[in-house]
Amino acid sequence: MTMTATTSRTTTAGAALTPFADELPVPPVLRPQHDSQGTGVLRVRARTSMVSLHRALPRTPVWAYEGHLPGPTIEVRRDAALRVHWINKLAGPLPIVSVIGPPGSQNEPGRSGAAPKDLTGIPAWTAVHVHGAAVGADSDGWPENGVSRGDRSVYTYPNRQRATALWYHDHAMNLTAYQVYAGLAGMYLIRDDEEDALHLPSGRRELPLMLKDVNLDQDAEGRFTGRLLHKTEVGANEFFGPYTTVNGRIWPYARLRPTLYRLRLLNASNARTYRLVLLDESGTPVPGAMSLIGTDGGLLGAPVAVPPDGLVLAPAERADVLLDLHAHAGQTLTVVNTAAAPYLGTPAAAPPGVPDPAHRLPFPQVLQLRVAPGPAPEPQLPTALSPTFRRLTHADLPHDHGHRLVMLVKSSKPLREMEPAPDGPGIVRVRAADGTTAGFRVAAGTWADAATIHVVQDSWEIWRVLNLSGQMHPIHLHLVQFQILRREAYDASGFNPATGEAEPPIQHLATLPVPPEEAGWKDTVRVNPNEMAVVAARFADHSGRYVYHCHLLEHEDAGMMRPFVVMPAGIPGMGGGHGH
Ligand code: C2O
Ligand code: CU
Ligand code: CU
C-alpha cells in the first residue's frame, strides 16, 4: 500500500504534509443550565478564531462556534427543552480564499493560477439550523431569517425525539457553502433512557468524529499560508479538497485501548462522500471490527455489520458505529476513504488505501488508530438495540397518506416538484413498476417559485425523488425523520434535459432493496443517478414553513432548495393538502 505523504507532482516540495502528525482532538461539550421553568439555556457565539489544522501549517483563521473547530458538542436529554441564543460575533470578512480553478486542479493546493473571488462585500450574516431536529418552524433556521453581526436568534428545541447525533450548522441563504466551509458546524447529541439502558461505550470510549475535506491556499512561493481555500473547477459546482480533516485536524491519529469504542461519525463536508474502510498494518481490510448501531435519526433494532466494501457517508449523513479493537492490541490501523469524487454510487476504482487522483482522491487516509498493547478481553457486543425501533413498510402507513414526486435535473431548475398532467408539450412520462404510464409537468423548480407542497400536520407522506441529473445528490428534509421504503432503477434515456420532456417515457427497470445499513431513521437520503428514492415520513407535532434541499452545499446555494409548508387541517382556502 502506498500511503503517500507528499502532495501531487504539480506542487512544490514545500507543500508536503505528513499524515498522522497530530493527535485527534475531541471538541468540548456544552450541557445546558436550566432556568426556573426547567428549560435549558445555552449561549453559543459564532466567532472568528485561529486554529491549527496540522502541526506543520501556519494557523488558520476560521469562523466557528465558540471559536472551536468543530463547534462544541451540545448534549441534551430527550424531552428536555433547550433554548439557544445563537449570537453572531463574527469579525472581519469571510476568512477563506475562493477560486474557480482550471479542470483537474482540485487536488492541488493553491490557486492553480485562478484569481480569487472578491469576498470582501459578503456580510457576516448567519442562520443556524439544527440538522435532524423536530422543531417549530420559527426555530428551524429559515435561510432567509439571518442575523447580522452583533445580533442573535433565540431558538427553542423541544428535543422530543429519539436519542441520536444531530448537528448544527450555518444555513444562511446563498452563503451556506462558504460559511460551513469556514467552520460553522458542530454536533448535537440527544440522549435518552432507552440508550442508557444499553450501556454503550461512553466517556473516553465515545468519540464524535466530524469529517470534512479542505484545501489550502499557498503564497507565490508555494508555501502554505494556513488559509482555507475553497477551490471548485470550471464547469463543476462542488468543492472537493485533497486533505481530510477529522475534528478539525488533517489526517490525525487517535490513541485507543484494545476495547470497544462508540464512534459518532458525521460527514460535514461540503460535497465529498466517504466510503470508510479499516485497514491493518499491511493495508488489508479488517473484517468485522465495525458494526453500525444507528443512523441519522437514532438507534437501529439490532447491530448491522458494516459491509466489507465500507461504510458510505454522504454530506450530512451520520453513522453510529461500534468499533471492536480487542483483537488488535498493539497494532496500528488506518481508516481510509475509497469513494470517488464526485460520488456516483458505484464501487471504488482503486483498492482501499491506494490514491486515486483521477477521481479526486489523492490522499485516501482519514484517521490512524494506534491501539495500545495489553490484555484485551473480548467485549460484550449488544445483540439487540432499540426496542422501539420498527422498520416501516408501505402497509404500515395510514390509507390517506400524501404522495409527492420530485425530480433532480442538471439545469437552472434543478429541484423540480412535479404534478400530474395530461399529455402535451413539456410533459415527462414515467412508466412505473406496475406497467402504467403517467404524465407529469413541472409545478415549481426554483427557490422563487411558490410553495406547492402543503402537508397536513400529523399526516404521513411518501416522497419519491427521481434523479435524472447524472450525479448523486443527498436530499435532506427538515423537520422529519423518514425511512427509505425502497429505491427504483430507471432507464432515463427518454428524458431530454433541453426540453424537460420524456417521450419515450422514463422506464422502471428494477426495484432495489434497501440495504440494512440504510434501513433506520434517516433525514438525508442518497439519490443515485437514474434512481428514485422512495421515503415515508410523518410530519408530526410542528407546523410552518420549512426547506428541503440537496446537501451538497454548493448545490443548495445554487438553487437546489425548495420550501414546504406544514399546516393543520381545516385552514380556509388551503384545501385538503394531500398530494394524491
Ligand atoms: Cu444540514 Cu438544511 O441542512
Ligand atoms: Cu400510496
Ligand atoms: Cu446536489
Question: What confidence tens digit (pLDDT) does each residue in 35-63 have?
Answer: 888 899 999 999 999 999 999 999 999 99
> Looking at the CA of 131, which ligand is closest?
1
Instruction: Output the CA 465–ligand 2 centroid distance in Å.
Output: 15
Determine which residue's CA is closest to atom 1 belonging to ligand 1: 131
CA–CA gap between residue 579 and residue 570 (Å, rounded): 16
Instruction: Quote the Cα angle for 391-394-400, to 5°.
Output: 125
pLDDT confidence band for 350 (50 / 70 / 90): confident
Determine which residue's CA is closest to atom 3 belonging to ligand 1: 131
HEC-encoded secondary structure of 412-478:
CCCEEEEEECCCCCCCEEEECCCCCEEEEEEEECCCCCCCCCEEECCCEEEEEEEECCCCCEEEEEC
Among candidates 282, 248, 258, which has minimal Cα distance to 369?
258
Cell of 546: 420549512
pTM of the predicted protein model: 0.96
Q: Report the nearest atom of ligand 1 relative to the CA of 143.
A: 2
Instruction: Output the CA 574–ligand 2 centroid distance in Å.
Output: 21
Residues having CB within 6 Å of any atom of ligand 1: 129, 131, 169, 171, 316, 476, 478, 547, 549, 551
> Looking at the CA of 176, which ligand is closest?
1
Cell of 498: 433541453
pLDDT digits (tens, 9 = 90+) for 453-496: 999 999 999 999 999 999 999 999 999 999 999 999 999 999 99
CA–CA gap between residue 550 and residue 558 (Å, rounded): 10
> Looking at the CA of 546, which ligand is closest?
1
Instruction: Output the CA 512–ligand 3 centroid distance in Å.
Output: 22
Q: Quote the pLDDT of residue 13.
A: 39
| 575 vs 190, residue with greater confidence | 190
Q: Report the nearest atom of ligand 1 relative to the CA of 167.
A: 1
Instruction: Output the CA 260–ligand 1 centroid distance in Å.
Output: 31
Concatenated DSSP letters of 275-325: EEEEE-TTS-B-TTSEEEEEETTEEEEEEEEPPTT-EEE-TT-EEEEEEE-
pLDDT confidence band for 394 (50 / 70 / 90): confident
pLDDT digits (tens, 9 = 90+) for 225-269: 999 999 999 988 999 999 999 999 999 999 999 999 999 999 999
Query: Which H or E run contains 554?
Result: helix 553-557
pLDDT confidence band for 575 (50 / 70 / 90): low
